[in-house]
Amino acid sequence: MIVSFSPPLFKQRYQFVVEFVQRIKPKKVVDLGCNDCALLKKLKFHHEIELLVGVDINGAVLKDGMYGLAPLPFNYLQPSFSSLNIQLYQGSVTQKDARLRGFDLVTSIELIEHLQPADVSRFGEVVFGYMTPVSVIVSTPNSEFNPLFRGLKGFRHSDHKFEWTRAEFRCWALKVCGEYGYEVQFTGVGQPPPGMLETFGFCSQIAVFKRIRRNDARAQLRDDVGDLFPYTLLYNVDYPSLNDANLLEKVLVAEVLCQTKRLRWGWTGEMAGERDEGLTFCQTDGEKETEVKESQTGDEDGCGEGGHAVGWRDRGRCGGQEKMESWSETRAPEDEEEFGMNGEGLKESYRQDRCVRVPLARLWSCCPRIRALSGSPSHLRRLLLNSRLIRLTEDGAAVLVDDEEQDEEVGGDDWEDTGVEEENRATDLSAMAKK
């Protein structure tokens, strides 16, 4: 009989671990016998994990696989608020290393069958007695399934030292539970042909252990006295995180620069374009240019359902300055107090000399990402005051943006979004995040 699996059996094992991680949301995870780090590469995308560790005795294989664990460009462009540290160690799972104690989850996927029988009890002592994780997942081949593989003689892999039946695996697991204070559930992946599950079982049998009590305090004390660190650290990387105050400030500043530039571009497009007098330029949260025709009654609420208008409406003259009056329906009275501006000040932007003034209240009300990054109007203002890349007005209530002539070359009917601004934004964010 020819047995095949879809998806492949190794992917089913990894998916079992991924779904378990999604349920219990561990912060610290170690994969024993991680080989080429394939499982770690899947787990690194789960933001609940703060420390992800791999251990394998083969250092060459670890070095080949570690490059796939490095942060990707989008991790710098869009860093998350969660922290992640990844470490790879070369070492034997039969050795105690104090750096691996107290983890939430230990995984051992198709590893135990590669150990010498004499080392299996040592493996149980190290994992359950010394490391004492909250949960453990152990998978191993089920030898009762082997007759379903045509032409298979002996073990499934040349390096296997043994392959357990379901009863042998259960016996070992229950003994571990009794010695070290765990409970266990049995399952597996790799279904046999229909109607044969009871006879042959799963192709890979899995035991999921959960700690129900800690080890004896005196035994823990004896272990602490002789803490050792036999493993060799081969790889250690920290992912960019907004928990880093310096990175948070850089990302926020980059976002403010991007959004103020967009607002300034919107205004220059309105000022330079040859538009009908009855048309008003505004921009919503979706940042799509919209033409809004005012009604004959002078209704100002013309920016579309749910939109936060950030455009400019009335072009007058104010003390030699070009005045641009706008409205923002998301603005709250407490925001006005936070930014130290009266109601009139929040409604106006000016261009004087070669600068455009963009109120912080406008940035706060119309840019959700700025709100998420800064947390509060006062924190936004404080962060920008400390930045050398942002120029604020004397009262600190608005950002001053250069109004360069080359950026004003916008043809009314010929202007279109070429996508250059998105490319510039990604480049600016990446460069600032890496500084």
Candidates 360, 346, 427, 423; CA nearest to 390 is 360
Overall pTM > 0.75: no
Structure confidence at residue 250 (pLDDT) = 87
Helices (H), 209-367: 217-225, 245-272, 333-338, 343-346, 360-366
Q: Which of 9-13, 328-332, 372-376 has the highest mean pLDDT?
A: 9-13
160 is written with which tokens? 């296997």
- Are the CB atoms for 137 and 105 separated by under 8 Å? yes
Local structure of 64: helix, strand or coil: helix
Candidates 319, 376, 374, 373; CA nearest to 348 is 319
122 is written with which tokens? 């040592």
Candidates 397, 49, 39, 21; CA nearest to 239 is 49
User: What percentage of residues in the chain have a pLDDT greater than 70?
Assistant: 69
Local structure of 133: helix, strand or coil: coil
Q: Give how far Cα 131 sits from Cα of 169, 208, 290, Å.
A: 21, 16, 60
- Is pLDDT above 90 for 116? yes
- Are the CB atoms for 66 and 37 separated by under 8 Å? yes
Buried b (16+ CB within 10 A) or exposed e, 388-419: eebebbeeebbbbbebeeeeeebeeeeeeeee
Specify the fold of 9-238. Rossmann fold (3.40.50)
Candidates 262, 293, 296, 275; CA nearest to 399 is 262
pLDDT band at 215; cut points 50, 70, 90: low
| Distance in angstroms (rounded) separating the CA atoms of residues 316 and 332 | 26
352 is written with which tokens? 């004087």
Structure confidence at residue 29 (pLDDT) = 98
Weakest-pLDDT range from 236-245, 248-257, 286-295: 286-295
Phi, psi of 262 (to 5 degrees): -65, -45
| Distance in angstroms (rounded) separating the CA atoms of residues 190 and 424 | 49
User: What percentage of residues in the chain have a pLDDT greater than 90?
Assistant: 47
Candidates 263, 242, 239, 261; CA nearest to 252 is 242
The residue ranges of every structural domain in the chain are 9-238, 245-434
- Residue 42 is given by DSSP the state H
User: How long is the chain?
Assistant: 435
Q: Before 194, cis peptide (omega within 30)?
A: no
Structure confidence at residue 302 (pLDDT) = 34
Weakest-pLDDT range from 136-140, 169-173, 244-248, 291-295: 291-295
Q: Which of 51-55, 76-80, 326-330 has the highest mean pLDDT?
A: 51-55
Give the model confidence (pLDDT) of 256-291 as tens digits: 888 888 877 766 665 555 443 433 333 333 333 333
Place of tokens 């208008």: 309
Weakest-pLDDT range from 192-206, 215-229, 339-353: 339-353
> DSSP letters along 147-179, please?
GGSTT--S-SSTT-S----HHHHHHHHHHHHHH
CB atoms within 10 A of CB 85: 15
Give the model confidence (pLDDT) of 361-413 as tens digits: 888 888 898 888 888 888 888 889 888 888 888 888 888 887 654 344 444 44
Weakest-pLDDT range from 77-86, 227-236, 423-432: 423-432
| Distance in angstroms (rounded) separating the CA atoms of residues 400 and 350 | 10
How are beta strands 51-56 and 28-32 bridged, if at all? parallel
